[in-house]
Amino acid sequence: MKRTIEAALLGSVILAGSACNEESPVAPDGDLFPVRAATVEVRLEWDEFASNLEVLGGFGSPSELGAAVLAKGFAGELDSRALARFGPFPAATSVRDTTGTIRSDSLLAFVSGRVVAVFDTVASTNEGPVTLALGALQAEWDATTATWTTAVDTIHDTRMWPEPGAGPVVALGTRTWDPAEGDSVVFDVDSATISLLADTTDESRGIRLDLLSDGVRLQISRVTLRIDTRASIRPDSLVVLSAPASELTFVYTPFPEPPPDGIRIEGATAWRTVLDVDPPRTLDGPAEVCRVLGCPLKLTPNTVGYAALVFRSRASDPAFQPTDSVGLDVRTVLSREALPKSPLGGSLLGAFGVTGLRVAPEAFGSDPGRAIEIPITPFIRSILQAEADSTELPPRTLALLSPFEPISIAFASFQGPGGPSAPVLRMILTSGPTVELP
Amino acid sequence: MKRSVPGFALVVALAVAPPVAGQSLFSAAGLGLPIASLDARSRALGNPGIGLSGSAILPEDPAASAGLFAPTATFTAQPSWVSFQGLGDDGAGTFQGTRFPTVGVAYPVGGWGMATATFGSVLDQRYGVEQAGTVELQDGTAEVTDRFLSDGGLSVVRLGVSRVLGGGVAVGLSLGRYTGKVVRRFERTFLTAVGSSTVQQFQAGGFWSYSGTNVIAGASWDISRIVRVAGSVSWSSSLHAKPSDDTKGEAASYDLPLRIRLGGSGLLAPGMSLTAGISLEDWSGTTGDLHSGGTSGFIKDIGIGLELGQASLAGRSMPIRLGYRRRDLPFVMNGATPREHVYSGGFGLAFREVEGVTMAGVDLSLERGKRYDDVLSETFWRGTITLTVAGF
């Protein structure tokens, strides 16, 4: 019987505990809502939220691209040549001797070789064969500062090319590249040329690749020197060694001028566009906002659920139109006064990862006028929060840029302020009455 | 020139449980759902907590503890399972929750009488409401979920004394302080991404804490050990609700009504007693204090029950109880006075008895009831468990 009593007590505890997995008295009907909220989308014109737009160029160097561009009369204007310098050649190699033993041999004789250029077929505009020329550079040059006209442009040392366009060169041959047959072109070079390319004390050493066919733009992803080498251990055999390009850049003309009325990002060197963004603290219109949310509507971080800059794409200069998707990033400029060298804050597009917001290349070529929306909700809310807290306002200058600089010779263009397609600030606003007690 | 895209429409309803526990959707009406600080015996007998035979710690019947002669503690838990219907086309659902409506301690004061300390629920304000809808944006429709949550309630802490005067008369007095808090929060959550980004949630709400004073005076009279009659009067000051510093909502003050309880129990036959009780209160004075909704004005809480006290289990006392209770709810949500009908049953079990006095025991009740107004109706099962220990 004692067990019965214990069972009753246990049952009591179980009964009490059985409902401890709480659920809610939740009604699925709006009649029980003591307050309601309303949501309205509003688009502010340029003058209402932005000012001081400025396009800045010169960020990075073509040599940082990791690729080179070839062009001749592309879009009727663009000429571009690739320059490469090969790194220290292999000083030794392992060779199997006549007894079958593998030995290291440092007494190498460079017999002949081949310059191999591999193309990025997606970034290249040709669909048929093109002719290319290889030449050996004659003037000293600096890969990080070389331009169409300047061979060296470092501090206290500016030297021009004897001929614009990285000239002159000693011709080493021409070849035809047909993308239908492969993704690379090969130039044969003799031992004397290899010897010149191997002289690391010579600052003028290097090759220049020219495009002889008109109207196309090619992108070289890498250049390698393949060297036929005779080893002292086995003079009857040839060993092929590789010397990849240690420096790869390109020089081009004309250099694009900053747009007087637009927005530009990317390119090599890279372009950035900066603008001051300062949202209004209250809205007195338009009528729909006043009707739904009431006016004047005070903007608070809580009110602004979404904010984005909306740009209209426009066609870039034909010579610089992208052939691949364009990545966009937006960052806070921490000190506008220090531009163009101001440090930047973190990306506001964290959701898009390191690649940024991707836009199809057609938006800047054959299909301009696309609305490109760049969300900046945390940025707008941080300004409104500082206003609400009466603390110092955060930096209100934004930089539009590429996630990687430089990433391509091409650049993205957008309509600037002053026209019907000027950028707007899109906001999704939600507001409701103050929650009171019953 | 600003341009805007109008449009907001709520078109679909769907319920999902947010993390709030409670016992009724009628908590959404006025100041909430009244929660009587009753033990399982009162519940089983359908009694509003007045005039029951014997002695117990009943917060709203201060004289009931006068007959205790040893230190006594009691604790009550109350799970419930509720299903509702009547809200919208698909307005039906279920939920469950657990309350702890009362806990109390009584201690002898010299030989003068008993001192009591109790904590009990007064109003339950926990509920949630949720609705799915859409927002029309320029580039399409965004799905949203609106949610309102109210979490909190009103409780009272009381200190009291009770004393047997002789001639079967006992009196009691308690002084209480209202306490509690409520958080009321509205949220709109955007389920649809805009572009490749999410829309931040909109929130609005506030936090209020309650204060006020309550005094209860009560008396009982045992007439020739066959009949007991009892009554109590409960007076409350205005209930003040103070917002927190960061709450935009305003402070509020509510008149609370005078509450009169009358009840009694009588022996019908050896081991069989009949109990009845009524509670009367007029909430008309509170109507003007409410921002929304109204009150039912004068309301009644009536209960009747039968107790078979000679039942036993394994030689231990195990009284069996049946009851019925009907009460009006004070706050109007949908035009008509909400009402509650409850059929109840239960039993007690003494674990340890000394000379017929229970020193450790449990009382259980199970109620089947219905709350309703012109729109909403709830049916519920409600269990109540009271553990009592004495002589510690």
Give pLDDT tens digits for A46-77: 999 999 999 999 999 999 999 999 999 999 99
Q: How far apart are CA B150 and CA A35, in angstroms?
A: 12
pLDDT band at A31 (very low <50, low <70, confident <90, very high): low
CA closest to B188 among chain A residues: A37
CA geometry: angle at B78 spanning B74 and B81, to 5°? 170
Q: Do B149 and A35 form a contact (C-beta atoms < 8 A)? A: no
pLDDT category at A432 given cuts 50, 70, 90 is: confident
Asked whether residue B2 is assigned to any structural domain, the reply reads: no
The tokens 């079990």 sit on which residue?
B349
The pLDDT confidence band at residue A20, using thresholds 50, 70 and 90, is very low
pLDDT in tens, A176-209: 999 999 999 999 999 999 999 988 889 999 999 9
Give chain A's end-to-end CA distance (angstroms, integer). 53
Q: Which of A253, A280, A302 is the last residue of a domain?
A: A253
| Beta-strand pair B127-137/A26-27 | parallel
* Contact (Cβ atoms closer than 8 angstroms) between residue B52 and residue B263: yes
Q: What is the pLDDT at residue B7?
A: 42
Contact B199 A291 (CB under 8 A): no
Residue finishing a domain among A215, A230, A253: A253
pLDDT reading at A300 higher than 90: yes
How confident is the model over A312-318, as a mean pLDDT?
94
Residue A326 to residue A314: CA distance in whole angstroms: 13
Contact B257, B279 (CB under 8 A): no
The verdict on a CB contact (< 8 Å) between B130 and A437 is: no
Number of domains in chain A: 2
Tell whether A301 and A424 lie within a shared domain. yes
Residue showing tokens 């029980």: A32
Average pLDDT, chain A: 89
Q: Is residue B291 part of a domain?
A: yes
Chain A residues lying within 8 Å of B22, measured CB to CB: 24-25
Q: Are residues A423 and A356 part of one domain?
A: yes
Residues A45 and A126 in one domain: no
Please tell me the pTM assigned to this model: 0.80
pLDDT, tens digit (0-9, with 9 covering 90-100), for A159-174: 999 999 998 999 999 9
In 10 A of CB B196, how many CB atoms? 12
Q: Does B381 touch chain A (CB under 8 A)?
A: no
Chain A residue numbers with beta carbons less than 8 Å from the beta carbon of B311 are none
Joined tokens for residue B376:
């909403």
Name chain B contacts of A42, Cβ cutoff 8 Å: 2-5
Among A38-42, A404-408, B291-295, name the one with the lowest average pLDDT: B291-295
Q: Is A16 within the bounds of a domain?
A: no
pLDDT exceeds 50 at position A100: yes
Q: Are residue A293 and residue A401 in the same domain, yes or no?
A: yes
One-letter amino acid at B274 equals L
Residues on chain A touching B349 (C-beta within 8 angstroms): 5, 8
pLDDT for B257: 95
Q: Do A432 and B200 touch (CB under 8 A)?
A: no
Q: Which residues of chain B does A305 touch, with a Cβ-Cβ cutoff of 8 Å?
A: 190, 199-202
Q: Are residues A213 and A93 in the same domain?
A: yes
Q: Under 8 Å CB-to-CB from A261, ≥6 apart: which residues? A: A416, A418, A419
Rounded CA gap, B16 and B191, in Å? Answer: 14
CB neighbours of residue B49 within 10 Å: 28
Q: Find chain A residues with C-beta within 8 A of B18's C-beta.
A: 24, 26
Q: Which of A58, A79, A104 is nearest to A217 (CA)?
A: A79
- Return the pLDDT at A174: 96
- DSSP letters of A119-139? E-TTT----S-EEEEEEEE-S
Among the partner-chain residues A25, A285, A434, the one whose CB lies closest to the CB of B248 is: A434
pLDDT at A353: 60
Confidence (pLDDT) at A341: 87
Strands of A204-303 (E only): list them. 207-211, 216-231, 238-253, 262-266, 270-277, 282-283, 297-298
For residue B245, what are the contacts with CB-CB under 8 A and spacing of at least 6?
none
**Comparison of pLDDT for A234 and A437, the residue scoring more:** A437
Contacts of B364 in chain A (CB under 8 A): 12, 15
Closest among B203, B105, B190, B208 to B152, alpha carbons compared = B208
**What is the helix, strand, coil percentage profile of chain B, to 5?**
5, 65, 30
Whether A71 is in a domain gets the answer no
Nearest by CB: B1 against A1, A45, A431: A45
Q: For B88, which of A4, A28, A292 is closest by C-beta distance?
A: A28
**Which residues contact residue A289 at a Cβ distance below 8 angstroms, ignoring those fewer than 6 apart?**
A40, A42, A283, A295, A297, A429, B2, B4
Chain A neighbors of B126, CB-CB under 8 A? 24-25
Number of domains in chain B: 1
pLDDT for B349: 92
Q: Cα separation of B203 and B215, whole Å?
A: 39
Query: Hey, how many other C-beta atoms are within 10 angstroms of the C-beta on B310?
Result: 13
CA angle at B48 for the pair B65 and B357, rounded to the nearest 5°: 35
Judge if A203 and A277 occupy the same domain: no
Quote the CA–CA distance of B271 and A151 in Å, as a whole number.
Answer: 115
Query: Which residues lie across from A333 on neighbouring strands?
Result: A344, A397
pLDDT class of A17 with cuts at 50, 70, 90: very low
- Strand duo B357-372 + B312-313: pairing: unpaired
- Which residue in this structure is represented by tokens 């055999």? A237
Q: Does B200 touch chain A if contact means CB atoms closer than 8 Å?
A: yes
For residues B149 and A34, what is the distance between their CA atoms, to the nearest angstrom? 10
- B245 CB neighbours in chain A (<8 A) are none
B3 within some domain:
no
Q: Do B292 and A34 touch (CB under 8 A)?
A: yes
Of A25, A288, A375, the CB nearest to B126: A25
As a whole number of angstroms, the distance between CA B102 and CA B79 comes to 13
Whether A12 and B362 lie within 8 Å, measured CB to CB: yes
Contact residues, A window 348-407, toward B, CB-based 8 Å cutoff? 351-352, 357, 373, 375, 377, 381
| Residue where a domain terminates, one of A202, A225, A253 | A253
Domain of A331? 35-59+257-431
> Is-contact B344 B40, C-beta < 8 A?
no
Using CB atoms and an 8 Å cut-off, which of residues 316-355 of chain B contact chain A?
316, 331, 333-334, 349, 351
Q: Which tokens go with A102?
A: 């593998």
Where is pLDDT greater, at A357 or B16? A357
pLDDT values of chain B reduced to their tens digit, one per residue, 392 residues? 444 444 443 333 333 333 344 678 888 889 999 998 899 999 999 999 899 998 999 988 999 999 888 999 999 999 999 988 876 555 678 888 888 889 999 999 988 899 999 999 999 999 888 888 898 888 888 999 999 999 999 999 999 999 999 889 999 999 999 999 999 999 999 998 887 788 999 999 999 999 999 999 999 999 988 999 999 999 999 999 999 999 999 999 999 999 999 999 999 999 899 999 999 999 999 999 998 778 889 999 999 999 998 888 888 889 999 999 999 999 998 888 899 999 999 999 988 887 767 789 999 999 999 999 888 899 999 999 999 999 87
Alpha-carbon span A15 to B78, nearest angstrom: 9
Cβ neighbours of residue A215 closer than 8 Å, sequence gap 6 or more: A72, A73, A74, A75
Asked if residue A343 and residue A323 are part of one domain, the reply reads yes
Specify the pLDDT at position A95.
86
Q: Are A242 and A227 a contacting pair, CB within 8 Å?
A: yes
Residue A12: predicted pLDDT: 52
For an interface test with A, give the residue of B74, B131, B202 to mutate (most A CBs within 10 A).
Answer: B202
Taking the CA of residue B61 as centre, how many other CA atoms within 13 Å lie in the half-sphere pointing to its CB?
35
Q: What is the DSSP letter of B200?
A: P
Chain B positions in Cβ-Cβ contact with residue A438 (cut-off 8 Å) = 29-31, 290-293, 331
User: Can you give the CATH number for the domain in which B313 is found?
Assistant: 2.40.160.60
Looking at the complex, report in whole angstroms how far the Cα of residue A267 sits from the nearest Cα belonging to chain B. Answer: 25
User: Residue B37 sits in which domain range?
Assistant: 8-390
3-state secondary structure of B87: coil
The residue among A177, A179, A196 whose CA lies nearest residue A131 is A177
* B91/A306 Cβ within 8 A: no
The answer to whether the CB atoms of B127 and A42 lie below 8 A apart is no
- Restricting to B residues 254-283, those with a Cβ less than 8 Å away from any Cβ of A are none
3-state secondary structure of B293: coil
What ranges make up the beta strands (E) of B297-354? 298-308, 312-313, 316-317, 320-328, 331-332, 339-354
Q: Are residues B200 and A377, on separate chains, in Cβ contact within 8 Å?
A: yes
- One-letter amino acid for residue B83 of the chain: S
What's the CA dihedral at A55, A60, A63, A64 to 10 degrees? Answer: -120
Confidence of residue A1 (pLDDT cuts 50, 70, 90): very low
Query: Best interface-test mutation with A: which of B75, B197, B295 has the largest number of A CBs within 10 A?
Result: B197
Asked if B185 and A283 come within 8 Å (Cβ–Cβ), the reply is no
Q: How many CB atoms lie within 10 A of CB A291?
A: 13
Residues A355 and A210 placed together within one structural domain of the fold: no
